[in-house]
A and B are shown apart, each in its own frame.
Chain A
Amino acid sequence: MQSKVLTTCEFCGCGCNFYLGVEDNSLTAVYPATSHPVSQGRLCVKGWMGHDYVNSYERLKTPLIKERGKFREASWDEAYKLIADKIQQTKSQYGSDSIAVFSSAKCTNEENYLLQKFARAVIGTNNVDHCARLCHASTVLGLSQTFGSGAMTNAIGEIGKAEVIFIIGSNTSEQHPLVASQIVAAVKKGAKLVVADPREIQLAKVATLYISQKPGTDVALINGMLNVIIAEDLLDKEFISQRTEGYDELKELVAGFTPEKTSEITGIPADKIIEAARIYAKGQASTIIYSMGITQHTTGVDNVISCANLAMLTGNVGKESTGVNPLRGQNNVQGACDMGALPNVYSGYQAVTNEELRQKFEKAWGVKLPAEVGVTVTDAINKIESKDIRTIYIMGENPIISDPDSNHTEQALKSLDFLAVQDIFLTETAKLADVVLPGVSFAEKNGTFTSTERKVQRVRKAIEPVGLSRPDWKIITELAAFLGYKMEYDSPSDIMDEIAKFTPSYGGISYDRLEEGGLCWPCPSADHPGTPYLHKEQFARPGGKGKFFAVPYRAPAELPDDEYPLTLTTGRIAFHWHTGTMTRKSWTLDREYPNGYVEINNNDAAKLGIRNKAMVKVTSRRGEITLQAKAVNTIQEGLLFIPFHFAEAAANKLTANNLDPVAKIPEYKVCAVKLEGV
């Protein structure tokens, strides 16, 4: 007999809901939820066909301990004891801050909360971070500075009612298909769509205006648009005077970004820059949608601030169907940030450096807590060489494939004193571990994910954990016990109660309430209905005003030159998820894209004598990979695109660990490479 379990999708931040059909502890079917406000009975191919990995034979079924270079099966207690001993040893010899913990945007809120608690209260370090560092660290900082809250300002359902949609640096149809669904619906109803992207993405086909900026010139483009808006008096003066500060500095700076000057930097004709500015500024409800094309730059924070400047200048924030809407990649990257799996904040973005807040958590957790901000994922890897970081505990991340400059990451992880990995597969990263603990997939545990629209939704257990694997939250509590710290919870619901107690924005969230459907934070109390859009009356910044920042244009860190004449940009495709750990084990998805490829402009391919589908070698200063060429006319000349899902042709062997100075996010979207036939 089949049972059906309603749950939240484990892939992207759209937060679609569906029922999993279950028979004999296997997932055998999917049924989209028709009543869910985002899904509305619709799913992308990953939602329909992406879950075969759950029952894969390759799942880790028992803890593993490495001895003389080989893994052997171990009991849970043996594995816990070894990890606990190593953590204790590192701690007493080199101090708590020589240990780093990587949390996971694939795991639940409850697990992320527990893991940051584990880092802070059990190990005694703020060295906890996760892959948000690699995707939206710039959003969290950029929007906090300008608006006071680093999240999507409006709800997904509002996009369908927008008058103007400006997409910059988001291939929405591939990465957030159910958000693209709203955009297509809006366009069909007459909304104007402006797309700015170095690749002519699918949505460009229905755009009112498509503009193609050179990679990494987004600040210049937006400053140019701001220039036009000010010059043509299309700004919202009332909004600027009543709700913002810093306008004069902005005005002074953007005066230099005339359409002609902006055109020189971005490669977009001046008249198109003017047109884009006019379309955006003239809409009664204009919304900005962005993603990795904005954030993954050495100017990531500046790019985000620029988007915020644009919205505030025209009064397009704090109202329905407007705002600045960063689409969060992972199913729970919003939640992992909310839960404080970040080196500078506890759950709800409560700063570790704030004494009052620190004392609150010291009291709650019954231990003294470290006061200094910890290291980020990207810095932790860099600090291994200098022996500042000696031990790393990773839950559900695969940095060798996901972090920039893979060869460097791999060398670094190999030189650690001790590495423990908690995952569902023996990933490229887990293979380097001293101890591997088998966690479970989203189908084997209860919990919550927070989607890109800040909506907290239930994840429900559909099957029993495979083999001897255990729910990740359980693993953290059990490991804590081996380190002499009691974390006692009967269920994830208990953990959520603790989260709600100490996290103002989650204050009103409980499993009972979530049975009625998801809730958008801030949801401060049990009777609060949640907040679909932010900054209605005032901004979340201290003082309540939004702040303009005048940001000068800076070029990307590594530009093409004679030796490496092409620019490489990286990203995802609709059929795979990140490092492919799950999707490459899902039958349909693997069949669709079994191998990596490099997208190259037809003209460039012809110049280099490369036929479509020929094997080519792409080389950067850091490494080389061999893969198939895909010649297209939808990418700029001089630019290459490689999806980063494929370990055997890992895009991140080529990328550089050039970081945004503040957010420490790597510049995945720009590095210099050369391409040749093989």
Chain B
Amino acid sequence: MSATRIIDKKKLADFLETLSSDCEVIIPTVEDGNLLFSELGSSKLEDSFKGRPIVSPKEYLFPQKEKILAFDTTDKVNVDIKAYTNDKKRVIWGIRPCDLHGIKTLDAIYLSDFVDTYYQARRKNTIMMGLNCNEPCETCFCNSCQTGPFASEAYDVVFTDLGDKYLVKVGSDAGQEAVDKIPNLFAEATNDDEKKAGELEEKSKQSFQRKVDVDVAKQNLPESWDDALWAEESEMCILCGGCNFTCPTCHCFNIEDVQCGEKASIRMRYWDSCQLGGFTQMAAENTRENQAARLRQRIFHKYIYTPDKYDGAIGCTGCGRCIEVCPVNIDITHILGRVASK
């Protein structure tokens, strides 16, 4: 890939606007104090911001609700079936390293042994532009998960906020092509720029409030299977599903045929939560009979099953969302800490 570059902060809008001529450009924006992903044009580009939107950008590849197909049974013999596809071209700018990593994990799940064509169609039309984290949030622990605060992979382009300009690194051909659309917006980065980015990364790494010994936790997890901690940690769970819905790597869904005409329906898929009692009911029952087993499943899935099944990398990005959205403060770092200290 080409050399590291810089772009003046004021020019970022020009860059993204140029890209938006033939695709949708998504950016993080602050509305009424809430950080949200939003479409460029309908919202303003923030000069700088802390943290990540409460719902991860996975929804641009795997939406909260999605139309799979439509069918009409008016003619009972020749049922009319239409599949939905979505090949909208999209650039998402400002994806934090945790979320870049989340998408990498989803790629492994959705594009390997079983290819999810809906995900695939969106994924190949999406360019991911990351933004490194100069300041971690209170609930973040990406440093412990080795997914952040600065991205080392899984991006097309990644930006580092140097104050009045961004350091820009290209990570793929698609990223190169995007940057090359208006090369004159970018200048070669100097050694000072690179040095400053390095300093920011170091500073960011030093400012985490949470730390998890992932290796020890992983090692101890199998032993913890029958531990009382699962019941203790899950006893106040109110079954909201928020931990799953905001997780950048949770990928379970359910299907519902939704009536839309006399004999016509649309098959929808929508996010599901392994914390709910009705999740994957086999014959009659959820195989995980209580909340302790369901919480254990959530943690084991991230820290044992995902690395076992895929390339060894854990399925938790350390983004801290499940901590932030939990109404009763179920805290994955606290749980892993307990496991690690056994």
* Chain A residues with a Cβ under 8 A of chain B: 1-4, 6, 19, 21, 28-35, 41-45, 47-49, 52, 57-58, 173-174, 177-178, 180-181, 184-185, 188, 202-203, 205-206, 574-575, 587-588, 591-592
Assess the B55–A31 pair: CB atoms within 8 A: yes
Chain B, residues 269-287, CB within 8 Å of chain A (1/0): the string is 0101100111000000000
Min distance, Cβ B40 to any Cβ of chain A, angstroms: 11
Q: What chain A residues lie within 8 Å of B203 (beta carbons)?
A: none
CA distance A34 to B53 in the complex (A): 9
B36 at the A interface (CB under 8 A): yes
Q: What chain B residues lie within 8 Å of A202 (beta carbons)?
A: 235-236, 238
Assess the A205–B236 pair: CB atoms within 8 A: yes
Assuming A19-B34, A48-B240, A592-B276, is B39 touching A29 (CB within 8 A)? no
Q: What chain B residues lie within 8 Å of A41 (beta carbons)?
A: 54, 324-325
In the A-B complex, the 3 residue pairs with the smallest Cβ-Cβ separation, listed nearest first, are A35-B33, A181-B327, A29-B64
Assess the A45–B34 pair: CB atoms within 8 A: no
CA distance A173 to B328 in the complex (A): 9
The SS class assigned to the B binding surface is loop
Q: Which of B236, B260, B272, B327 has the most CB of A within 10 A?
A: B327
| Chain A, Cβ-Cβ closest to B265 | A57
B24 at the A interface (CB under 8 A): yes
Assess the B238–A574 pair: CB atoms within 8 A: yes
Min distance, Cβ B250 to any Cβ of chain A, angstroms: 13
Min distance, Cβ A581 to any Cβ of chain B, angstroms: 17
Q: What chain B residues lie within 8 Å of A592 (beta carbons)?
A: 239, 276-278
CA distance A592 to B275 in the complex (A): 11
Q: What chain B residues lie within 8 Å of A19 (beta carbons)?
A: 34, 36
| Chain B, Cβ-Cβ closest to A32 | B54
Q: What chain B residues lie within 8 Å of A49 (beta carbons)?
A: 241
Assess the B278–A591 pair: CB atoms within 8 A: yes
Assuming A57-B260, A587-B254, A588-B276, is B329 touching A185 (CB within 8 A)? yes
| Chain B, Cβ-Cβ closest to A173 | B238
CA distance A4 to B276 in the complex (A): 27
CA distance A49 to B32 in the complex (A): 23
B93 at the A interface (CB under 8 A): no
Assess the B33–A44 pair: CB atoms within 8 A: no
Assess the B245–A48 pair: CB atoms within 8 A: yes
B325 interface neighbour in A21, A32, A177, Cβ under 8 Å:
A32
Can you give 16 contacting A-B residue pairs, CB < 8 Å?
A6-B34, A19-B34, A31-B34, A34-B35, A35-B33, A45-B239, A47-B240, A58-B259, A173-B236, A184-B236, A205-B235, A575-B239, A587-B270, A588-B241, A591-B254, A592-B278
Q: What chain B residues lie within 8 Å of A205 (beta carbons)?
A: 235-236
Min distance, Cβ B318 to any Cβ of chain A, angstroms: 17
Q: What chain A residues lie within 8 Å of B63 (beta carbons)?
A: 28-29
Q: What chain A residues lie within 8 Å of B183 (beta carbons)?
A: none
Assess the B24–A588 pair: CB atoms within 8 A: no
Min distance, Cβ A308 to any Cβ of chain B, angstroms: 29
Min distance, Cβ A609 to any Cβ of chain B, angstroms: 22
| Chain B, Cβ-Cβ closest to A3 | B42
Assess the A588–B242 pair: CB atoms within 8 A: no
Q: What chain A residues lie within 8 Å of B254 (beta carbons)?
A: 587-588, 591
B22 at the A interface (CB under 8 A): no
Min distance, Cβ B175 to any Cβ of chain A, angstroms: 24
CA distance A28 to B32 in the complex (A): 21
Q: What chain A residues lie within 8 Å of B199 (beta carbons)?
A: none
Assess the A42–B326 pair: CB atoms within 8 A: yes
Assess the B325–A42 pair: CB atoms within 8 A: yes
Q: What chain B residues lie within 8 Å of A184 (beta carbons)?
A: 236, 327-329
11 further A-B pairs in the complex, CB-CB below 8 A; given A19-B36, A49-B241, A587-B270:
A2-B39, A28-B64, A29-B59, A29-B64, A44-B327, A45-B276, A47-B240, A48-B242, A57-B260, A206-B235, A588-B254
CA distance A539 to B64 in the complex (A): 48
CA distance A52 to B278 in the complex (A): 17
Assuming A49-B241, A180-B238, is B65 touching A57 (CB within 8 A)? no
A588 interface neighbour in B33, B38, B54, B272, Cβ under 8 Å:
B272
B236 interface neighbour in A2, A44, A206, A587, Cβ under 8 Å:
A206
B256 at the A interface (CB under 8 A): yes
Q: What chain B residues lie within 8 Å of A181 (beta carbons)?
A: 327-328
| Chain B, Cβ-Cβ closest to A46 | B240
Assess the A6–B31 pair: CB atoms within 8 A: yes
Q: What chain A residues lie within 8 Å of B277 (beta carbons)?
A: 592
B79 at the A interface (CB under 8 A): no
Assess the B39–A6 pair: CB atoms within 8 A: no
CA distance A592 to B38 in the complex (A): 32
Assuming A42-B325, A592-B278, is B238 touching A177 (CB within 8 A)? yes
Interfacial residues of chain B within 28-49, with CB under 8 A of chain A in the complex:
31-36, 38-39, 42
Chain B, residues 153-169, CB within 8 Å of chain A (1/0): the string is 00000000000000000
B258 at the A interface (CB under 8 A): yes
CA distance A166 to B99 in the complex (A): 42
Q: What chain A residues lie within 8 Å of B278 (beta carbons)?
A: 588, 591-592
Q: Which of A32, A173, A178, A203 has the most CB of B within 10 A?
A: A32
B242 interface neighbour in A2, A43, A591, Cβ under 8 Å:
A43
CA distance A204 to B65 in the complex (A): 36
